[in-house]
Amino acid sequence: MKKKLKIVTIGGGSSYTPELIEGFIKRKDELDIKELWLVDIEAGLEKLEIVGALAKRMVKAAGLDWEVNLTLDRRAALKDADFVSTQLRVGLLDARIKDERIPLSHGIIGQETNGAGGMFKAFRTIPVILDIVEEMKELCPDAWLVNFTNPSGMVTEAVIRYGNWDKVVGLCNVPIMCNKIAAGALEEKEENLFFRFGGLNHFHWHRVWDKTGKEKTKEVIELAYSSPDGLGKALEKIMGQSNPSDGNNEDAVQNSGVQNIPNIGFLPEQVMNLGIIPCMYHRYYYITDDMLKEELEAYDKGETRAEVVKRTETELFELYKDPNLSIKPPQLAKRGGAYYSDAACELISSIYNDKRSHMVVSTRNEGAISDLPDDVVVEVSSVITSNGPVPISWGTFDTSSRGLLQHMKDMELTTIMAAVTGDYSAALQAFTINPLVPSGKIAQTLLDEMLLAHKDYLPQFKDVINRL
């Protein structure tokens, strides 16, 4: 008989938590849950209490007897846990605003997981995650760590490489959105298509086949990328096949993961030459000038994505306070990142039940992408077993994408090393080799300014910051 589950969510006061609870409720017949623990820090106490009360109402409305515990005591929560999920944001949304606005003030891409902003999110986040891993080694050594804290790929890599913890899986909602775009373009149901992904978190490509085994990748590119509004039309089509009662209507998807990124069309000729389908975040690398122009316009109006999200979150938590609310409100889709939490629940269920679900996750390469070392973390299609992900082979990339992939992986590894060690020269090197950051004095000026702006959350850089 299987043990009843204790599941812990660190960052439990997140606005995403209702979707997480909904995902567990949907799988009540698959997951024998005894305890759900929502953990946060003192600065997040008010949000934890608000969203925790909603979580309790949702569980009660579903007729379940699960214990829902709210706490600021991380160690108490971790004791004997079976699964630990992380959805934390070090420095809260104000830190994200700095990650976006400071680079933009220098005329440089400012984005949560790409460029200078993404590297600084890694600098703040990785030491905290590694502290959690050390506590897990002591308090729940058999637990799985399910990470969807961004930058998810780099965090997962740090846990394996520096935390020496193999029972970790990184998750992202972008592959889910990519599936929906392809299905919409083909006017086909997702379950009738087979997808294979290869690359890095927020930097992957994919291919598509139908049930007969015929590859549809080129057709998706022609339909979805041959015009500036092709992606939007693809999403509209797939929404016509969705159940509005699930919150999967057109408005919900248009305002989900895609809205985090300006919907500017790729260059059709360039994507056709690739022969594989890029993810939305490739816009930052394939059409950098167009993306920067869009971001600078938002910056001038005080409407960077982080600033919009902060306002949206305020509205969400006002909704969550309603004592009569006992479901996930559809407005949550406007927050961005839809399907993250549901993916986490499916991952947990697949490990717990050895379901062999087909999912796209960040995990150790193990030969899946032959252009990268076996021991680095990649984001690839995998079969999720009771022993974790088993990567599906992608093979090799051609010359149009291979070098950029390898370059980005080395940038990630350099960033992670700087995050762990507090080595200023490694941080500068990471800035220098990142394609979205100009090199030389501009990189150093930006690095120094961001170190000072985030000084309260960068203890590993304390000596450097004092000198600055």
Please list the active-site residues: 281
Query: 53 φ, ψ to 5°?
Result: -65, -40
DSSP character string of 187-219? T--GGGEEEEEEEETTEEEEEEEETTS-B-HHH
**Tokens at 226, concatenated:** 């041959």
DSSP character string of 322-349? -TT--S--GGGGGGS-TTHHHHHHHHHH
Burial 241-278 (b: 16+ CB within 10 A, else e): ebeeeebbbbebbbbbbbbbbbeebbebeebeebebbb
16 touches 337 (CB < 8 A): yes
Residue 372: which residues within 8 A CB-CB, separation 6 or more?
Answer: 365, 378, 405, 406, 409
147 touches 133 (CB < 8 A): no
Task: Report CA dihedral (76, 77, 79, 84) to the nearest 10 degrees.
Answer: -150
Residue with tokens 């972008």: 174
Query: Which residues is 382 bridged to in the sheet?
Result: 359, 391
254: closest CA among 344, 161, 180?
180
Alpha helices by DSSP H, listed for 9-142, are 17-26, 45-61, 74-78, 92-105, 115-139
Query: Which residues is 194 bridged to in the sheet?
Result: 209
d(CA 238, CA 253): 10
Q: Is 94 exposed, middle or buried (0-12, 13-18, 19+ CB in 10 A)?
A: exposed
Parallel, antiparallel or unpaired: strands 83-86 and 67-71: unpaired
Separation in Å, CA 70 to CA 18, 39, 67: 14, 6, 10
